[in-house]
Amino acid sequence: MYSLINVVEGYVVKLSLHHGRWQTGRPVFMQVNIQQNNEADTAELADIVDAQVTITSEYLAKPFILLLEASAMGLAKLFTFPEAGTYQARVQFSHHLSVLTTVFTLHVEEGKDAADPVG
């Protein structure tokens, strides 16, 4: 699993792919896991609302806002990067009436066209 980790106000935010790298040409399965105070149990975070990832880059005409969907593996969404280059992924979520944001830098490589998602 390929992961990037940031900490914001006591929350550990992990943006992951299950395998492969950030690449163009096929959908990547982005997964976000959020833990509070480094605790392994995320059940108490079940009341996280409005979790989203905003993808920005000079390669995009406008930002893409991905509303994350809850899954057994955390919050997840498929996204296809149009071109290789550097992107910003801003993860924003609400918990206990606080809105928290952290930014990840993604270095997207040129990929091969394929129907199967990566990650």
- Residue pair 16/2 in contact (Cβ under 8 Å)? The answer is yes
- Give the separation between CA 43 and CA 24, rounded to whole angstroms: 34
| Cα 97-100-105 angle, rounded to 5 deg | 165
Instruction: Tell me the pLDDT of the chain averaged across its residues.
Output: 80
Output the pLDDT for position 1.
67
Domains belonging to the chain, first-starting first, are: 2-108 (2.60.40.1930)
To which H or E segment does residue 85 belong?
A: strand 85-95
The residue ranking higher by pLDDT, 49 or 32, is 32
Q: What is the pTM of this model?
A: 0.80
Output the pLDDT for position 88.
92
pLDDT tens for 67-101 read 777 665 567 788 888 899 999 999 988 877 888 89
Hey, what are 36's tokens? Answer: 């509070």
Output the pLDDT for position 49.
63
Order of all β-strands in the sheet with 2-8: 2-8, 11-17, 28-36, 74-79, 69-71
